[in-house]
Structure 1
Amino acid sequence: MRAIFKEPYMHTIHLQTNQHQLIANLRHAFNQRSMLGELLQNARRAQASEIRITVDQSSLAIHDNGGGIADLQSLIFIAESGWDEPLRSNENAFGMGALSTLYFAEHLSVHSRGAMFNARTADILAGAPIAVVPTNAYLQGTVIRLDGIQPPHPSDRLHDWVAWELKRLCEAFPVPVWLNGTEIPRPLASASLDWRQTSMGKILIDLTGARTQWRCFLQGLPIETGANHSLHQVVLLPDDTLAKLPDRQHLLNETQDCRRIQAAVDQAYRQALMDKKAALAESEFVEHYAHVCLQSSNADLLNDLSFVPRGWFRDWQQEPAGFRHYWERREAEGVVSRTVLQELGVWQIDADRCDGLTAEVYLEAAQAFLLEASGLDNGHWVHSLVRAIRPEQVRVDADAVLHRDASPWLADGEVELALVGTLQVRLEGESGYAVPAIRKDGTLYLTARASDATRLVSDYVFEDRYEENREDEDAKTLRTFIAVGCSSAPDRVFDALLPDVLRYSAQPKLAGATVRLIFDATGKLQAVTA
């Protein structure tokens, strides 16, 4: 049996909408946080000068003194705005925000001008007819009341949740807001703030914070972007910036807008630094803002100033020569003038980390300026003063070796120990400086007064873990080595080598005993007799 095919006939199709499914799916486009923002936005757009919110256990009422709503139908007209054309054009206004309330409350009542309605939200969402009735009293503004409302988390009290959200929402909101009679703080709405006008709106610069850490507000409410890292720079976007609909908590063109915002923040940040530079003495600006200039890619602002921070150079008192613990990094305070640096010179070490210890010891002894700052502009004058020093330029003058150990079992197994009576370091043709210890060509030279030589052994960080016990062991090894080398008689040598367990711990089996130790010709223990 063959299938019978009918000849196609001409017909038309048109866009159709499953209205009930669309309304049901819109639930996922809103949340309670955006609901509060929509209610505040309605009042602001209605030109309200104050907004009063009342909350009890399960209801919320918001009363504004704005111009009111001419037609209450506009509140529940999906995808249709009740705002006038200028406002729709200036702010891309979309609807009047009441739709978001329908998913989070059981009843909605609205009273504006001389009319009101009161209905179950389920009936409104189902498209049931809602009666709008006239009222005897003409109300200034609008009152919207939600009953049967719950916070996002059942364990939260409605009042506490609303208070927390209003604190976040109202930070830059232009209209005063009260919650149960208490005004909500609006720190970014203060008229005393120094906003800077840019191509991406008004920006409030905080020079103590990074220029790449900013947050945005659109039409008075916070907008979430990928750049919301902290509380530093604040951006009030132009009112016509496009936000995602229907829940306007994100930018529509975030990738492009974020680049434009960052460029505007960078410009405002630089201008703020330039204003500080013009207002302060050179030394003050350098002391307070040099670090900010380096961290914000504005290092060139320092090029024409005759001071630099003391923190650009090694602080020998706080950080002596040797391996440095990164968690102890401290910068010196104050500034140093160009004249002083020209007289005394600026140094940089031309060597890797380990070999550079020789040069560090010399520079510390000479109390020289060792430049350690990074990020300086190539045009800064300090570069012209820098002299390079290499470890092989440092001469070590030591008298006869008193004691030597080729395998001291230190954290750095490649270092040997040599005890000398006196030790000096110098550059060729220059006078020397006395030092207690120096590491050169794989040998750690020590004198009897070397008390902190572990800095010349290791940084004691292995696999990002600080080996404090290992440093203590090395310090003990060095003290023992020095004590042995300085001892002239066998009993003093043995006393220096005596372990703590025998020196400080009671051993009952040795009470009253006299022990005789016999060593061979090489100094190796041969016998122990009573």
Structure 2
Amino acid sequence: MNAPLQLKVNPENLVHSLKWSFTNRTTYLGELMQNARRAGASYVAFDYCADTNTLTVTDDGCGIDSLETLLTVAESGWDVELIAKEHAFGVGFLSALFACRHLGLSSKGGCFSVDTDHILGFQPVEVLPVTDWNGLTEIRLIDIVNGPLENTLADLATGFPIPVHFNGVSLPRPNAIDSIGAAEFVASPVGAIRLINLIDSYRHYRDCLVYLQGLPVYRGHYYRIGDTRYLGNIVHLDSAQFMARLPDRDKLVDEADVIKLIREAIAAAVERQLMALKTALSADDFLTYYPVLRECGLIHLLNDVDRLPKALVSRIQRPPVCDTDLFGDFLEMVDQPITQSAVKSGQVQLVTIDDDLQSDGALRYLLAWKKGWVLVDNQFDAGHWVQPYLRHLSREEVQCEILEESHRAQFQGIWVWVTAVFCRAYRIRIGDDSVEIDEHGAYTGNEQDDIVLIPCQEKWGDVLEQVSRFCENDDDYQGSCHDQDVEQFSHFIVANTADDPADALKRLMPDLRGCKVLHGTQFVVEIDPEGQLASVTLTNHPSGAVEAGS
């Protein structure tokens, strides 16, 4: 019968393998900072000598009683309460052994100076007594591994609870709970949170820089290493609830789940702050926080505010276009706040339009424009007071009556092909509301045979901007095609609306001032039945009539 098996550990192989488990070569810096803090130090100092490539770390904490415990893997030496609260496992000091060729240490429990290979080879280390301890623990690392020493320390110090010095200079700690802004931190279920200035930096409200035991363990999108002006939320996690991943401890265990909890806590803190602001501020001032309310999912706080955010209401100032980035915005912000009383009394008609111009056409927008209705981006909560007064035009049937149609013609441009209906005017009707338009063209949508209505006063070709974005499938804007089609369509309108052929030709002629050979000449121009130029005859040539090309 085989003997029972049990787990065994090869200590030497394990320790040497741990060297490659540390992701960052500078992990030891944070570990030495933590040891100083746990020892109750009032500061921790790092002094680097480039000539000898030596880093000396000093703190004024309680000191190390047992150097044997310090050199015992998985034996932290801290008291039971601290181990339970901070999950001190006793592997961090290994990072210092891997970070240098020679290590010297002096503290309450004695001193030694030895090559790190000697320690890692499980060889005995001679410890000399310290008879007159000066209250300082000093660790000297000789021949340290290369790494961004100063920048790393500056990053680690930003939220650390005790001062951190580098070569005699105190490093900035703008995010530390014991810093000048400590009063700005508020308690939450995950730990202490300092919110950004909501009115200035709302775009980053979800972003956060997270510390655990004073060291950064999660950096938001907008954070840059060493950035002391970071504008995101600052979070110091409760170390009794959350753990960092061994051995580097610069990443959270179950990070995605923890960040979700953090963001929920931030949103709750934002809501409490906004509720207080709502009580203290006027309605107009509170509405300046609309971007934060939207981003935080707190739009319901506007339900009983008696006016609407300017960001959600606008007026149509000109015929619509299907791409405002390319062709300019056809909406303008309202001058005065839209109040609940003005809406309820009927002084202001609020509408929403969800039409896509390229498929649904521009008729509803044109009706709302001519009626002077206020267009609402309905991002309001379902319980907001505005909902019963909001007319959803896209849910209502739109009708269009062509008045005194003269003829139809096919326009075939480089990019856009449409049927143009020439008429005196057209009438748009939705329910009991109607408007007659005779000066602006209208696209009726691709479900209506790609028809463009051209009333008698329409003179330009920019109605095509209701029809197409002039973009390839990959959103590559074809600007030259746009310009040529719009110019050609304006000529097309002239040719189809001029009072007589001579007037049409005159309006279609380009500016010829730069062509002096034509000055003072007379021509007979013949256009064939297909609309093509058949011939041009010069009638006032000294030798008589001359046809083009002779």
Task: Normalising by structure 1, report the TM-score.
Answer: 0.84
Partner of 2:157: 170
How far off its partner does 1:505 sit? Answer: 7.7
1:462 aligned counterpart, secondary structure: coil
Deviations 1:371-391 (A, max 9, x none): 2243x2111121111123358
Matched, 1:54 2:66: no
**Cα contact 2:402–2:423 (8 A) shared by 1:** no
May I ask how many residue pairs the two structures share in their alignment?
504
Structure 2: which 5+ residue stretches go unaligned? 224-231, 537-546
Alpha-carbon distance between aligned partners in 1 of 2:285 and 2:144, rounded to the nearest angstrom: 56
Match of 2:60 among 51, 61, 65: 65
**Cα contact 2:277–2:286 (8 A) shared by 1:** yes
Matched, 1:147 2:149: no
Match of 1:78 among 50, 67, 73: 73
How far off its partner does 1:141 sit? Answer: 2.6
1:134 aligned counterpart, secondary structure: coil
How far off its partner does 1:392 sit? Answer: 5.3
How far off its partner does 1:219 sit? Answer: 0.5
Q: How does 1:163-202 map to 2 (within 5 A)?
A: 163-189=150-176, 190-193=179-182, 194-202=184-192
Match of 1:526 among 530, 534, 537: 534
Stretch moving more, 424-433 or 103-112: 424-433
Structure 1: which 5+ residue stretches go unaligned? 1-7, 153-160
Q: How does 1:481-520 map to 2 (within 5 A)?
A: 481-485=492-496, 487-488=498-499, 490-498=501-509, 503=512, 516-520=524-528
**Cα contact 2:351–2:391 (8 A) shared by 1:** yes
Match of 2:472 among 462, 472, 484: 462
Match of 1:358 among 356, 363, 388: 363
2:175 aligned counterpart, secondary structure: helix
How far off its partner does 1:356 sit? Answer: 4.3
Deviations 1:68-125 (A, max 9, x none): 1112222221110111222112211122732101112111111223732111111111
One-letter amino acid of the counterpart of residue 149, structure 1: I
Alpha-carbon distance between aligned partners in 2 of 1:400 and 1:253, rounded to the nearest angstrom: 70
Partner of 1:111: 106
Matched, 1:37 2:33: no
Task: Normalising by structure 2, report the TM-score.
Answer: 0.82
Matched, 1:344 2:343: no
Partner of 1:4: none
Partner of 2:304: 304
**Cα contact 1:417–1:443 (8 A) shared by 2:** yes
2:103 aligned counterpart, secondary structure: strand
Alpha-carbon distance between aligned partners in 1 of 2:267 and 2:438, rounded to the nearest angstrom: 50
Q: 1:124 to 1:306 in 2, by over 3 A?
A: same
One-letter amino acid of the counterpart of residue 294, structure 1: R
Deviations 1:381-430 (A, max 9, x none): 211111233585455575664x75322426342x3234556677666566
Match of 1:19 among 2, 11, 27: 11
Q: How does 1:75-474 map to 2 (within 5 A)?
A: 75-95=70-90, 97-113=92-108, 115-135=110-130, 137-152=132-147, 161-189=148-176, 190-193=179-182, 194-206=184-196, 207=198, 208-209=202-203, 212-224=206-218, 228-231=220-223, 232-240=232-240, 241-286=242-287, 288-317=288-317, 320-326=319-325, 332=333, 335-342=337-344, 343-349=347-353, 351-353=355-357, 354-374=359-379, 376-389=380-393, 393=398, 395=400, 401=406, 404-409=408-413, 411-413=415-417, 415-419=418-422, 428=432, 432=436, 435-440=439-444, 442-446=451-455, 447-450=457-460, 452-463=462-473, 464-474=475-485
Alpha-carbon distance between aligned partners in 2 of 1:399 and 1:311, rounded to the nearest angstrom: 41
One-letter amino acid of the counterpart of residue 473, structure 1: Q
How far off its partner does 1:518 sit? Answer: 1.9
Alpha-carbon distance between aligned partners in 2 of 1:518 and 1:203, rounded to the nearest angstrom: 82
Alpha-carbon distance between aligned partners in 1 of 2:258 and 2:157, rounded to the nearest angstrom: 23
One-letter amino acid of the counterpart of residue 199, structure 1: P
1:380 aligned counterpart, secondary structure: coil
How far off its partner does 1:512 sit? Answer: 9.9
Deviations 1:342-363 (A, max 9, x none): 3211112365533341110121
**Cα contact 1:171–1:188 (8 A) shared by 2:** yes
